[in-house]
Chain A
Amino acid sequence: MLAYSRGDASAFETLYRKHKDALYRFFLRQCGNQALAEELYQEVWMRVIKARETYTHQAKFTTWLYHIAHNLLIDFFRKPLEQNDEDTDAESIPANASNDPDVILSAQEKIERFRVQLKNLPREQSEVFLLKEEAGLSLEEIAQTTGESFETVKSRLRYAVNKLRLSLESDD
């Protein structure tokens, strides 16, 4: 990032290609809408480009990048609900699987259930889980990114993991 701030365009491209997929899925998993995810995703990188002149290496770049993403998500979720037009087409709960406990869930259905459960997690819990899975941050780094305490982060992650694990258990 420092190299990019000094005018090295290839340095930015290196950073971008390293983090772009994980950051994109971070937004996609939480927004449930591809267009919205792309919009937030692009906004993050525009802010990174704009911040090149004042960037100082005070934290790991990943932590700094997802801190920007976190702030954008907060701003997004503060908006009135009618503006958050979530497309549930891809994230709808399979009716058969959720309503028939006697059905042995196939692997694919388990994954779908998992996906829905992830989407239905409270925003704070899903964010912590995704920062762990996509960004690869530690609990301490997640706390730094979100501005929360270590114990709060740990608690949220515990709840998220438990719920997701339950979604994977097949019901006989």
Chain B
Amino acid sequence: MKKTDDKQLEDYLQGKDGVSPAYDQLGQEKPPADLDERILLAARRAIAGQKPAKKAIPYQAYSIAASVCLMVLAATLFLQNEEELTGADIQSRAIPVMDSIEESAFQLEADFIQPAPAAAETQAAAPAPTAAQAQAEALQLESQEASQRVVTEDDLAAQALEAIENANVQGAAATGLQVFSQEQVSALDNAPQTAQTTAAALPPYRASAESWLAEIQRLQAIEPAQAAEEIRVFALEYPEMDIEAALEALNTALENN
């Protein structure tokens, strides 16, 4: 019985019996039209009295707005930093160009410097002419030959180095007047790390032969070219010293330690 009932129910659910068609024939009654209107009117009045619903803002709009704000903030910070750096950067990278006024000042300074003895000797043991004197001669010659030439930073540095080499500076603080002009001092500061031995700009490690040799030993491992340059200048400073032997002695001492 139960199985028959389940079968009959299954037939009904699948539309295989006549119950559903019979029900459909009962009629398709509909609510009256005025009842429809009353209900729809009530529905319209219900929402007319409420506050307009806030249109949901898509989450995408929020994310886009946030991205735009971040971009504006980042750009603003970047531009602010750029202005700060640009101002100082321009100052530091300014290339001193000798104009007519500066050239005149340079000439006056050169004239003020005591001229070096005519016979400037380059013997290693003999007292060499001071750097100031040699530099003064070089600068005077240069100023006469290139009075209207634009002096670049590299030119100034080259002038100073050449004067040092020819003067055979002892390494001690030179007496006398300042050798270089302001432009030459700036050029030396910005020049590559070559021998910049001047009285006013002596690297600390050149204060003594021992520290200088130690620096040369250090540079030999990492900067051979610079080490060679230091050796050359060292030789000018200490012509009586056997540099190779001294460096070998330093290496031996380092190995033993």
Contacts and interface: CB of A to CB of B under 8 A. Distances in A.
Interface of A: 4-9, 12-13, 16, 20-21, 24-25, 28-29, 38, 41-42, 45-46, 49-50, 52-53, 110-111, 114-115, 118, 133, 154, 157-158, 161-162, 164-165, 168
A162 B8 contact: yes
B35 A38 contact: yes
Interface of B: 5-6, 8-9, 12, 17-20, 22-23, 25-26, 28-32, 35-36, 38-40, 42-44, 46-47, 50, 52-53
A133 B12 CA distance: 11
Consensus secondary structure, chain A interface: helix
B26 A111 contact: yes
A49 B44 CA distance: 9
Contact of B32 (A25, A38, A50, A157): A38
Contact of A114 (B22, B32, B50): B22
B47 A20 contact: no
A4 B23 contact: no
B19 A164 contact: yes
B29 A42 contact: no
24 contacts: A4-B47, A5-B53, A6-B53, A9-B43, A12-B40, A16-B36, A16-B40, A20-B31, A21-B28, A21-B30, A25-B28, A38-B35, A41-B35, A42-B39, A49-B43, A50-B46, A52-B47, A110-B22, A111-B22, A118-B23, A118-B26, A161-B9, A161-B17, A161-B19
B12 A161 contact: yes
A158 B39 CA distance: 36
Consensus secondary structure, chain B interface: helix
Contacts of B5: 158, 162
B226 to A, nearest CB: 78
A157 B25 contact: no
A45 B35 CA distance: 11
Contacts of A118: 23, 26
A48 B77 CA distance: 56
Given A7-B52, A115-B26, A165-B12, 11 more contacts: A16-B36, A16-B39, A20-B31, A20-B36, A25-B29, A29-B26, A46-B42, A110-B22, A111-B25, A111-B26, A133-B23
A154 B22 contact: no
B9 A9 contact: no
B22 A24 contact: no
Most buried by B among A53, A157, A162: A162
Nearest to B22: A114
B108 to A, nearest CB: 88
B224 to A, nearest CB: 79
Nearest to A25: B29
Contacts of B35: 38, 41-42
A136 to B, nearest CB: 11
Contacts of B50: 7, 53
Contacts of B46: 49-50, 52
Contacts of A157: 9
B8 A161 contact: yes
Nearest to B55: A6
Contacts of A45: 39, 42-43
B9 A154 contact: yes
A36 to B, nearest CB: 13
Nearest first, the 9 closest Cβ-Cβ pairs linking A and B are: A6-B53, A24-B31, A7-B53, A12-B43, A158-B9, A45-B39, A161-B12, A9-B44, A114-B22
